[in-house]
Structure 1
Amino acid sequence: MFGFVPRQKHEFYFSEPVSKRRLMFVIKTNDEVGITSFVEMNRCAPKYLLALNVALTVTHLLIGVSSEKEHLKQVKNDHLNQSHNVPSANLQQLCPRGLRLWIPDSPEIQFVGFHVSINSPLIGASPSEFNTDLGRPTGGKWTFDIPDIYLQKGDSVFYWLHLVVGNHSRLRTDLSWNVPGNACADTNSSNFQCTESVTVTTKSPVCSGQLLFQDDFNNLNLESWQHEITASGGRHSEFQMFVNNRSNSFVRDGVLHIRPTLTKDVLGENFLFNGVLDLWGSSLPGERCTNPINNGCYKRALGGQILNPVVSAQLQTSRSFSFQYGVVKVRAKMPRGDWLWPAITLLPKHSAYGSWPNSGQITVGESRGNARYMLNEDPLGIQRVEMALNFGLQELIQDHQGLIKKYANSEEGWDTNFHEYQVDWTRDGFEFFIDGKSLMNVTPPIDGGFWSLGGFTADPYPANNIYQYGTKMAPFDQQFYLAISLSVGGISGYFPDSAENSPYPKPWNNTSPNAALDFWEQKESWIPTWTEENSNFQIDNVRVWALP
């Protein structure tokens, strides 16, 4: 606080810096009149203090003029009407990323300062996320480009302007702009033209390289993500039920967590053997069962058929976002814990070629949480992460037909750090990456496509070619949506009986009619491996771009 005592009571203070070199100096009188001036901040501290003293002295002299009340009245009127000479800004979302703000030049404008924040309201002339001070226009405009930000429909841009018009300093505050649906169609800019991408979404057309979907998990956005609610065990008869519950899916410190918990901790162990599980819920979004297959919505314990002993979550964009062809990047940390099965997948929106796996599945990344799970001396647990494509007729699949996959090993385990899992999906094929390094390329032949690539060309398969009326990319020529899940166990063979787990063997057999019961009865062997933080599937961010 700096001050002196002239003929009236005044308060003096310096606000937060308007920019790196400019400080806003405010005087508040007992008439509630605010006088604002701007002081240049010098690199040298003594010069900086001298500048402050000069500003105080000059302001003191201004206030001390004989007609003080008239002067203050004029200043008050100036500030009440300061936005009258401040032109409005034009805003343009740039393609494929970035934001442009500009105002037309006029002879009276001597200086323009832009102050911008994304999705964070600015109250008055408050500090902003991005800012710049301009001393001259370019091409008849005062232009501020922010090149490295990704915007999507619904984002809010908050901003304020500081102009020097003639000899007067002017502020225009509390301004905002909402990002429109078509990022590259704004006519305010003639420098950025939209080249339409081959990517298809529910909001097509889109521009080449446009960011289509982004979540940095500052909160759990239930408009973007819907929860699977079912006890079906999925297509692999897994042992968990999926619910919409903040004990199992939540955001903390900018990271999405999916946590496995035990059914008995909420409903009691007796419920597993004698209870009735009703997930039908209400008709409200987020409460109603989503998958009735295998008694997924209503299930009664009967003999060796116990209820699902584990509760977990699957989040998906099935009702909010889907796309065909594009670039997907997910930054994630895999969980550690015996028999945990984390997966990041793309699933078909319409199942155009029939039920799974007919219509395909794109596995962006999946793993097994076991610390010591070996198959033929190769690590099969947390040291391995897999990326894959599933397709073909279920009844015709033998061995590895209809499955193309590749894995990468990490001695320290995929649970120790976050890694970026990426899929480039084009009209010609796929390329899979981990941390920017290519892991697998898949290119189907023009003749036969994935039917041929999957090994279904020998008799009697050609007569059953369900992809013959699609493109060579069928079944991957349709729109898919994002799904992130944490499953447990299952009898599909993802946890093979032939693999060896240490220190305790696998507690169930994939051919057992009571696999979930067997799993639960050996709970003392695997529950200790689930630690609260390390056993959470953690997602830092998700992004999807249109193809360039």
Structure 2
Amino acid sequence: MPRRSVKRSHTVFKDDFNSWNPSNYKQDVTAWGGGNGEFQVYTPEAANTFVRNGVLYLKPTFLIDNANFTNYQMYHGRMDLNCNKWSFNFIIAIWMLPRDWSYGGWPRSGEIDLMESRGNSYAGAGGVNHGVNEVSSTLHWGPDSGQNRYYKTHAEKYVLMNSVLTEYLSPETDTYVDNQEILRVNTPSEGFWRWGGFGGTSPWHAHNAPFDKPFQLILNVAVGGAFFPDSWHYNSPKPWHGGQHPMRDFWEKRGDWQNSWHGDDIALQVDYVEMIQQ
């Protein structure tokens, strides 16, 4: 009798965060705003990335919490990225970028946003609350940033999240949060290039391209930027509105939002990470 094929899977990486092993991760040191004009600065400070009782904390802190900075230096000093990370209202992001960028720069090689959520208790537009309990998942893809067809592979759902967030990407490109499906994307029969309606010759020769190459997991907390439209209504007045110095405006209006910060509760807390390959 012929043998029956059996799907097998194995864990390729798992971290329960019983201790912190920085060699397992690459910690960014950058003031780049993620392409969205975000405010944060990332550095590998122990106050921002630490493990406690089997949980990884990614905690934003203020620049002036660092002994090397005063309020005067906030305006007139020079920032050395070896000092602290500073943040304010935040965005939680669990996402993936290509390991090798085989098809070229963003978004030609793709981006997988497993879960994004605003930290505000209320971020309203059209009677819908897009705050902390709204979770979105998105695939970004296209020949250039002006032809990103993310809107064809985007979904969001209001989720009453538990204290422990579970999330994974399935082989069919599905994302789940607390066992609730957020996004399902089946590879188009004609491939992503034709489905996107792009002209010219496709750089993607595999059927599932650009999502057929290895991706790497990213865990981060971002702050401010275009993810918070001016036209929306928030639990406190939005402290910046475009202009030439949105970060300064945000900081100077901290009296409007700083009382919503409560110790380690402001951190992204990760119970474990596990990657399973079939």
Q: Secondary structure at the match of 1:242?
A: coil
Assess if the C-alpha contact under 8 Å between 1:248 and 1:311 holds in 2.
Answer: no
Higher strand share: 1
Secondary structure in structure 1 of the residue aligned to 2:41: strand
Alignment-derived partner of residue 395 in structure 1: 146
**Cα distance in structure 1, aligned partners of 2:176 and 2:204:** 30
Q: Is the CA contact 1:373–1:381 (under 8 Å) kept in the aligned structure 2?
A: yes
CA displacement, residues 111-170 of structure 1 (integer Å, 9 cap, x when unaligned): xxxxxxxxxxxxxxxxxxxxxxxxxxxxxxxxxxxxxxxxxxxxxxxxxxxxxxxxxxxx
Question: Paired residue for 2:169?
Answer: 423
Contact 1:217–1:540 (Cα < 8 Å) also in 2: yes
2:191 counterpart of 1:445: no
Q: What's the counterpart of residue 111 of structure 2?
A: 361
In structure 1, the residue corresponding to 2:218 is in which secondary structure?
A: strand
Retained in 1: the 8 A contact 2:125–2:232?
A: yes
C-alpha separation between the residues in 1 aligned to 2:245 and 2:104? 29
Whether the 8 Å CA contact 1:470–1:477 is kept in 2: the answer is: no
Secondary structure of the equivalent of 1:446? coil
1:364-399: CA deviation from partner (whole Å, max 9, x where unpaired): 2110010121111111111211121112220234xx
Shift of 1:310: 5.5
Counterpart-to-counterpart distance in 2, 1:513 and 1:477: 41
Other-structure match for 1:244:
44
Matched, 1:264 2:43: no
- 1:251 Cα deviation after fit: 0.4
**Structure with the greater relative contact order (CA < 8 A, sep ≥ 6): 1 or 2?**
2
Give 1:209 shift.
Answer: 0.1
Secondary structure of the residue aligned to 2:225 is coil
Question: Is the aligned partner of 1:341 residue 2:88?
Answer: no
Task: Give the match for residue 520 of structure 1.
Answer: 251
* Residue number in structure 1 paired with 2:76: 274
Taking every aligned residue pair, what percent have the same amino acid on both sides? 29
Would the aligned equivalents of 2:114 and 2:138 in 1 still touch at CA under 8 Å?
yes
Q: Answer whether contact 1:343 1:366 (CA < 8 A) is retained.
A: yes
Equivalent-residue separation in structure 2 for 1:310 and 1:495 (angstroms): 21
User: 1:196, CA displacement in angstroms?
Assistant: 10
Larger Rg: 1
Within 2, Cα distance between the matches of 1:498 and 1:361?
27
The answer on whether the counterparts of 1:406 and 1:439 sit within 8 Å (CA) in structure 2 is yes
Pick aligned residue for 2:54 from 247, 254, 271: 254
Q: Provide the rounded CA distance (Å) in 2 between the counterparts of 1:355 and 1:196.
A: 37
Correspondence 1:289-308 to 2 at 5 A: none
So what's the TM-score if we normalise by structure 1?
0.47
Question: Alpha carbons of 1:310 and 1:512: their partners in 2 closer, same or farther (altered >3 Å)?
Answer: farther
CA drift at 1:419? 2.1
Other-structure match for 2:272: 541
Do 2:138 and 2:183's aligned partners in 1 also have CA atoms closer than 8 Å?
Answer: no
Q: CA deviation at 1:346?
A: 1.2
Residue 478 to residue 524, structure 1, CA distance change in 2 (3 Å): same
Report the AA paired with residue 421 of structure 1: E
Matching residue within 508, 511, 530 for 2:240: 508
Partner Cα distance (2:37, 2:109) in 1:
19
In structure 2, relative to structure 1, the CA distance for the partners of 1:248 and 1:310 (3 Å cut) is: closer
Work out the CA distance in 2 between the residues paired with 1:339 and 1:196.
Answer: 48
Q: State the Cα distance separating 1:349 from its structure 2 match.
A: 0.8
Deviations 1:293-318 (A, max 9, x none): xxxxxxxxxxxxxxxx9526xxxxxx
| Count of paired positions | 270
Q: Gapped runs of 5+ residues in structure 1? A: 1-194, 198-207, 282-286, 288-308, 313-337
| 2:131 pairs with 1:381 | yes
Match of 1:496 in 2: 229
Aligned to 1:184: none
Aligned-partner Cα distance in 2 for 1:437–1:395: 32
Matches of 2:127 and 2:204 in 1, distance apart?
A: 44
Offset at residue 489 of structure 1 (A):
0.8
Deviation at 1:513, TM superposition (A): 2.9
Structure 2 gaps of 5+ residues are none
Cα distance change, pair 528–441 in 1 and its aligned pair in 2 (3 A): same
Distance in 1 between residues matched to 2:181 and 2:119, nearest whole Å: 24
Shift of 1:532: 0.9
SS at match of 1:311: coil
Give the one of 216, 222, 226 matched to 1:487.
222
Question: Aligned AA for 2:55?
Answer: V
Q: Is the 8 A contact 1:243 1:311 kept in 2?
A: no
Q: Which amino acid aligns with 1:406?
A: A
Kept in 2: contact 1:241–1:310 (CA 8 A): yes
Do the aligned partners of 2:108 and 2:141 also contact (CA within 8 Å) in 1?
Answer: yes
Are the structure 2 counterparts of residues 310 and 515 from structure 1 closer, same or farther at C-alpha, using a change threshold of 3 Å?
farther
Select 2:27's aligned residue among 221, 227, 233. Answer: 227
| Partners of 1:196 and 1:477 in 2: CA distance | 22
Partners of 1:471 and 1:271 in 2: CA distance: 52
Q: What letter matches 2:127 in structure 1?
A: E
**Alpha-carbon separation, structure 2, partners of 1:196 and 1:238:** 46
What does residue 405 of structure 1 align with?
A: 154
Pair 450,512 (structure 1): closer, same or farther in 2 beyond 3 Å = farther
CA contact (8 A) 1:228 1:242 kept: yes
Q: Deviations over 1:453-512 (max 9, x none)?
A: 4xx41xxx312x5x4442122211111111100111113xx212221112x221122x43
